[in-house]
Amino acid sequence: MRITAAVLENAGGPFTLQQIDLADPGPDEVLVRVHSVGICATDLEFANFFPTPAVLGHEGSGVVEQVGARVTGVSPGDHVAMSFTSCGDCPLCRGGNPAYCRQFDAVNFTGRRPDGSSALSRDGQPVNGHFLGQSSFATHVVAPARAVVPISKEIDLGVVGPFGCGFGTGAGAVLNVLRPEVGSSLVVFGAGAVGVAAILAARTAGCAVVAAVDVNAGKLDTARLLGATHGVNSTDGDPRELLTAIAPHGFDVAIDTTGREDVLRLAVESLGPLGRCGVVGIGPSEQMSFEWRSVLNGRSITGIIGGSSLPQVFLPRLLDLHAAGNFPVDRLITRFPFEQINEAVAALRSGEVGKAVLTL
């Protein structure tokens, strides 16, 4: 079928809306008509080096139009959110940990299906896609059934997409991995969509002190509005001193969403004895380094992918919290028409918006 997709022609370049072809779903795949899709920092990072021409996007939501012969979990007409995919066969997948699938990179980041084919083509030539199981910067997606999560038809499809990555990543880091105790202290570095989702989860978990650290005053204001007890603008002074004033003995839990070496070092050094730091950010720094004394007091550093979640279980849990008013991420969302994808990217890069969502 002929679809419209935002094609990345050259790494680091703009997206252009083009007509391309989409193959029918395979036996274990589904065809989804995309209603809306969030733009994530991961899209922006991979746009710098993903093999082109390509279609990115991995926070999609929509309606199932067709299913493959072996698909049983969803049917045409079902509303779905989409998340990452996994092989389903390795010990980690079978053990309920698909975010750490042994084939994660192969099935999410090569631009092709596991057999090397692509469902996307242009003028008879393959276009790279299948990004995190989706490539949902498009009007339609062919996705593995493992990447879709059925949701109630009463849920606004214009909100649900980012739950599949950004919101789920931040909240899952807190609720699934770090699991702070009631009354504990937590600090989040980076008050974007992932960071604020972590803040909302920290308040749900009963943390007494929830600090947000950023250089954007507007983002800090939003973080306070949505549950942060403290906001630290690291341009206002020595951030170490500012954090010590909040937690003199160090924080129990820290989360870095920035992927910056200097920020992650600060996050680890802000912890108290036995403190735990979760690393969720993909950013500019390829290497991280620490003074050996900074991890001596029982401090630990944990990498977290996709909120360490089983999407079919965790995403509905977050949506239930949202429906109850306990995860009000709507305030982070700014919607853009699909054809304004480059304007949405620019607004996200500048910090003008917390979460840009494209509507189709």
Which residue ranges form the domains of the chain, and what is each CATH number?
2-164+329-359 (3.90.180.10), 170-305 (3.40.50.720)
pLDDT at 303: 95
Q: What is the pLDDT of residues 157-200, one digit of tens each?
A: 999 999 999 999 999 999 999 999 999 999 999 999 999 999 99
Structure tokens at 320: 């239930």
Q: Which H or E run contains 347? A: helix 341-350
Q: How far apart are the C-alpha atoms of 158 and 234, rounded to whole Å?
A: 33
Residue 273 has pLDDT above 90, yes or no: yes
Q: What is the pLDDT of residues 38-83, one digit of tens each?
A: 999 999 999 999 999 999 999 999 999 999 999 999 999 999 999 9
Half-sphere exposure of 120 toward its Cβ, with a 13 Å CA cutoff?
A: 32
Residue 283 has pLDDT above 90, yes or no: no
DSSP notation for 243-301: HHHH-TT-EEEEEE-S--HHHHHHHHHTEEEEEEEEE----S-S-----GGGGTTS-EE
Q: Check: CB of residue 142 under 8 Å from CB of residue 30.
A: yes
DSSP notation for 212-224: EEES-HHHHHHHH
Q: How far apart are the C-alpha atoms of 159 and 168, rounded to whole Å?
A: 13
Q: What is the pLDDT of residues 229-243, one digit of tens each?
A: 999 999 999 999 999
What's the whole-number average pLDDT of the chain? Answer: 95
Bridge partners of residue 345, in order along the sequence? none
Q: How far apart are the C-alpha atoms of 261 and 245, rounded to whole Å?
A: 23
Q: Are strands 2-8 and 29-38 parallel, antiparallel or unpaired?
A: unpaired
